[in-house]
Structure 1
Amino acid sequence: MNARTSTQPDPEPRSSAPQAKAAADPHPVPEAAPAVTAPPRRSRFRRALPLLGLLALAGGALGGTWYWQVGRFMQSTDNAYVGGDIAVLSSRIEGDVARILVGDNQPVEAGQPLIELDHRDWQARRDQAAAALAEAEANIGTLAAQRAQAVAQVAAAESQIAQAEADRVFAVTDAGRAGTLASSGFGTREAVDRTTAARRRAEASVAVAQAGLESARGAVPVLDAQAKSAVARRDAARAALALADSNLDHATIRAPFAGIAGNRAAQLGQHVRAGQNLIAVSPPAERLYVTANFKETQLRRLREGQPVELSVDAGGTLHGTVQSLAPATGAQFSLLPPENATGNFTKIVQRVPVRIAVEPGQPVGNLRPGLSVEAEVDTRDDPHAPRGLLGAAAAMIRGH
């Protein structure tokens, strides 16, 4: 019994060994915790499937609602550009460029002088036309005076006829008296001859006076015809003066409207001819519009007055209104319109230009003619209905 007891190991040394090891190591490493088994990922995915399905169903419902309420009524195109009625100014007359009064990209007002041509030759032509008009007017005055003189001569000739007729009557009476006295023996033959000659002279004077009256009367129509010709020459001279004034005024090229000057081709001292382009004036941003080329399959619901949302590539979003649709496709207005009756036929979707007016009161400072735009037309019956996803869903719930 004692031997068995002596053979059992002493528990004290076993318990003190780890303590001694811990005392020898100042930085003991903690023992690893027992590993915890994680739930499988597949089970988490299975638990999330119903939630994902509900989210997908709700998203599909919202998307379908938006398409049914809004999306199917929206007609959009990126084939759209900013347009403007740019005035390309050319010279109406021939001359040398004397002054350039505006710089490139400078704002101008309506009627502001832009370019001046040398006007000395045209000023001389204007003075010549004015002198011709003054001469024509003076000729009219001369002919008027001559006609008045001819009318006076007619009156004088009529008076001379009356006087000659009175002399003729006296001469006839005197000759008759002398003949009676001579036949009764109380007069002489000489008296008869003298009174007879006086009567003939009086008759001749009447004839002369009548001829003078006819001549004076005949001069009046001639003068009237000359007066009409003079009036025609005066009108021609007046028209020539107006043309000369117009040419002289065209020596100064002015802005037809308020806008921005650009594309200046004129140079100081350059000799230009009539019809040569010198400068262009672009309208201000407030007068610009958008031309959107929609496909023919998009025209079923497009109408004038529908609202349009414009996304400008240069930056910014604007609101506009459908103003008008072109009377034909763009291909028909091209230089060489297609002729589908010749050769092989390939059907191509045609596009129709639609003019869109930009609503006033918007910040349109970045707009320039030629910029690219994306246009989206709202073809719904109620263009003021909400366009957003949540708004369309709410409207459908309310039954609108």
Structure 2
Amino acid sequence: MNARTSAIPESETRTSAAPAQPRRSRFRRVLPLIALLVLAGGAAGGTWYWQVGRFMESTDNAHVGGDIAVLSSRIEGDVVRILVADNQPVEAGQPLIELDRQDWQARRDQAAAALAEAEANIGTLAAQIGQARAQVASAEAQIAEAEAERVRAVADAGRAGTLAQGGYGTREAVDRTVANRRKAEAALTAAQAGLESARGAIPVLEAQSRSASARRDAARAALALAESDLDHTVIRAPYAGIAGNRAAQLGQHVRAGQNLIAVSPTADRLYVTANFKETQLRRIREGQPVELSVDAGGTLHGVVQSLAPATGAQFSLLPPENATGNFTKIVQRVPVRIAVDPGQAVAHLRPGLSVEAEVDTRDDPHGPRSLFGAAAAMIRGR
């Protein structure tokens, strides 16, 4: 084989090597253009990073949040009606679940009867107080009458004694007038005692009236509580949203505090919670614009609403304690609440969806964010 190879003519070897030279020549001519493009791309990328990129703080540790209301029963009873289906939109105050109200209606009627009885007792005592005051006035009149009778009896006794001493009256007349005087004095004493008794009855009746008023207030509070319990037989939506996670079943006996159904807020009341690293918080401030990329599809815009007062680890069930022998430093994250700008197509949003958040921390957040816009802004700045 070596003999055959060595036997190839030299002219053929020169002919096969000839096309390689034009290729190298063309590559040498294109190489400066490639280098120029690379340098231009690097300059543009560097410009974008210096003008925009270094001010962007992003994280994929973010999710859509919403204040979900988990509704439970405040009373005990049987489920008699379920008025909504799963995942059904509901309005604020709309009935969702109804419990048996028969027992609670009876308790309400009982409380109403107790209140009526207490109010009747107050009326009776008021009448008795009025009667006692009339008795006081009558006793005062009786005292005046008894006093007048005593004065007359004393005068009669004096005149009878004077006549008897002068020999013009009899001993019988004197004794009779003296007896009338003593009788009048006793009647006056009895009238005064009756007045004191009538006056003493009034404070007692007034104390009983205050006690009756207290019982009336207690009965009124019991009636209000019974009416509240009766109203709680109907579980209503606290706000407009979507019903879900229904645990109540028709005919089920539920107890107070048992979770029955949940209401999720509508899409326009949702927000985003982004957990940024502590090293990213240096430039993040309230009011800065945020671009949100939803994993379920779509890009939204929002603003930084607030920063949590502590890291997420501090709100956990078992907060970390760094004063231990084995310590490993871990970058902490701080929840940042982001409000979604209104007027966007957010109907597909649901609490719990994953989101990627990017905060623009520039002093002028309305400046261009694209590569060419940043380059143009830099050129204009020159």
Among 122, 132, 136, the alignment partner of 1:150 is 132
**Secondary structure of 2:359's aligned partner:** strand
Among 192, 195, 198, the alignment partner of 2:174 is 192
* Residues 308-327 of structure 1: pairs in structure 2 closer than 5 A: 308-327=290-309
* Residues 60-99 of structure 1: pairs in structure 2 closer than 5 A: 60-99=42-81
Tell whether 2:337 aligns with 1:355: yes
Report Cα offsets for 1:189-214 as digits up to 9, x if no partner. 11111111111111111110000000
Report Cα offsets for 1:255-313 as digits up to 9, x if no partner. 00000000000000000000000000000000000000000000000000000000000
Among 381, 390, 400, the alignment partner of 2:363 is 381
Name the aligned partner's letter for residue 258 of structure 1: A
1:134 alignment counterpart: 116
1:52 Cα offset (Å): 1.0
* Residues 389-400 of structure 1: pairs in structure 2 closer than 5 A: 389-399=371-381
Identity fraction in percent: 84
1:54 alignment counterpart: 36
Tell whether 2:203 aligns with 1:221: yes
2-structure distance, mates of 1:69, 1:137 = 80
* Residues 16-35 of structure 1: pairs in structure 2 closer than 5 A: none
2-structure distance, mates of 1:193, 1:347 = 120
Tell whether 2:318 aligns with 1:336: yes
1-structure distance, mates of 2:208, 2:123 = 11
2:143 alignment counterpart: 161
1:43 Cα offset (Å): 2.2
1:305 alignment counterpart: 287
1:46 Cα offset (Å): 1.6
Tell whether 2:224 aligns with 1:242: yes
Among 130, 141, 159, the alignment partner of 1:177 is 159
Q: Compare 44-53 and 223-232 and name the one that shifted more.
A: 44-53
The answer for unaligned runs of 5 or more in structure 2 is 1-14
Which protein shows a greater Rg?
1
Name the aligned partner's letter for residue 183 of structure 1: Q
Aligned residues: 366
2-structure distance, mates of 1:359, 1:59 = 35
1:118 alignment counterpart: 100
Report Cα offsets for 1:158-200 as digits up to 9, x if no partner. 0000000000010111111111111111111111111111111
Name the aligned partner's letter for residue 204 of structure 1: A
Report Cα offsets for 1:9-32 as digits up to 9, x if no partner. xxxxxxxxxxxxxxxxxxxxxxxx
Q: RMSD of aligned C-alpha atoms?
A: 1.0
2-structure distance, mates of 1:399, 1:178 = 135
2:186 alignment counterpart: 204
1-structure distance, mates of 2:64, 2:110 = 49
**Secondary structure of 1:345's aligned partner:** coil
1:49 Cα offset (Å): 1.6
- TM-score of the two chains, using structure 1 as the length reference: 0.90
1-structure distance, mates of 2:273, 2:158 = 108
Name the aligned partner's letter for residue 149 of structure 1: Q
Tell whether 2:76 aligns with 1:102: no
2-structure distance, mates of 1:45, 1:183 = 171
- TM-score of the two chains, using structure 2 as the length reference: 0.95
Report Cα offsets for 1:221-256 as digits up to 9, x if no partner. 111100000000000000000000000000000000
**Secondary structure of 2:87's aligned partner:** coil
1-structure distance, mates of 2:151, 2:157 = 10
1-structure distance, mates of 2:61, 2:367 = 26
**Secondary structure of 1:344's aligned partner:** coil
**Secondary structure of 1:96's aligned partner:** strand
1:295 alignment counterpart: 277
Name the aligned partner's letter for residue 218 of structure 2: A
Name the aligned partner's letter for residue 32 of structure 2: P
Q: Compare 183-192 and 376-385 and name the one that shifted more.
A: 183-192
1-structure distance, mates of 2:155, 2:114 = 61
